[in-house]
Amino acid sequence: MLWRSIHDRLHEEIATGHYKPGEKLPTETELACRFGVNRHTVRHAITELRDHGIVYSRRGSGIFVATKPMTYKIGRKTRFSKNLVHAQQAPTLRFLRLETRHADKIELENLALGRTAEVHVVEGIGLSNNIPITHFTSIFPAAPLDGFIEALESAGSISTALAACNILDYERLRTEITAVLATPETAIHLACQVGDPLLRTRSLNQSNNVPIEFGTSLFSAKHIAFVVDEDSSA
């Protein structure tokens, strides 16, 4: 079968380092021209490579050689940027939404707020070496964090913005981890396919025994491997 021959050739070239982890493969059109076949045949070969975790798709960008999942520690002092720096990655946050609004029931309960309280909402994408690996939404109590949104817009760092509001340290009180599948919206944010496996965390951070952040994050399972270490300062 032609598609199997193309699959085996590409697999061999990836295994021997012609295309390294994280690098982009030639386009379907380029591969079809190289092997003298139609794009459908190339697509069949690529699909087989993707199903075996050898390559992955980034929506609108192409096909890339899969990388080994990065170890991401979850402990009392979990920090996105510090975890990536420890893994020799370049962390970046891209904010999608920064707003202050009324809290809903779940947010009120988790942050121990009064029923008329407002919260700061931070939604964004966390990138590692410019590859999106997490889509997150974090909720902060508005009253004790006056000026938080402005500080975040200026600093681009949640920890720095909290420090500007006199929250100099905080720690993880609890983390819930579940497996989910990528929805169409999440697939766009994480440049993955609808139905791809994701790891979802729901967490609560506190400062001086007072809840300060309630967050939900969706991580790309092909890029992240969680290590739970309650004593970790990562």
The residue segments making up the domain with residue 138 are: 70-228
- The tally of domains found in the chain comes to 2
Amino acid identity, position 102: H
Q: Are residues 83 and 128 in the same domain?
A: yes
Provide the angle, in degrees to the nearest 10, between the axes of the packed helices 2-15 and 39-51.
Answer: 50
Query: Distance between CA 70 and CA 226 in Å, rounded?
Result: 8
Inter-CA distances, 171 with 57, 73, 74, 94, 211, Å: 35, 14, 11, 23, 10
Max mean pLDDT among 6-10, 127-131, 191-195 falls in 6-10
DSSP designation for 24: B
Q: What is the mean pLDDT of residues 59-84?
A: 85
Query: Distance between CA 107 and CA 114 in Å, rounded?
Result: 10
Residue 234 falls within a domain, yes or no?
A: no
- Share in percent of the chain as helix, strand, coil (round to 5): 30, 35, 35
Q: What is the pLDDT of residue 234?
A: 44
**pTM across the whole model:** 0.78
Q: Tell which of 18, 47, 65 closes a domain.
A: 65
pLDDT band, very low/low/confident/very high, at 189 (cuts 50, 70, 90)? very high
Terminal C-alpha separation, the chain: 49
Task: Note the pLDDT tens digit of each residue in 134-174.
Answer: 999 999 999 999 999 999 999 999 999 999 999 999 999 99
Q: Are residues 57 and 74 in the same domain?
A: no
- Alpha-carbon Rg for the chain, nearest whole angstrom, is 21
Task: Note the pLDDT tens digit of each residue in 11-48.
Answer: 999 888 899 888 899 999 999 999 999 999 999 999 99
Q: Are residues 152 and 52 in the same domain?
A: no
Q: Tell which of 32, 65, 98 closes a domain.
A: 65
Q: Are residues 108 and 223 in the same domain?
A: yes
Q: Are residues 121 and 25 in the same domain?
A: no
CATH number where 75 lies: 3.40.1410.10
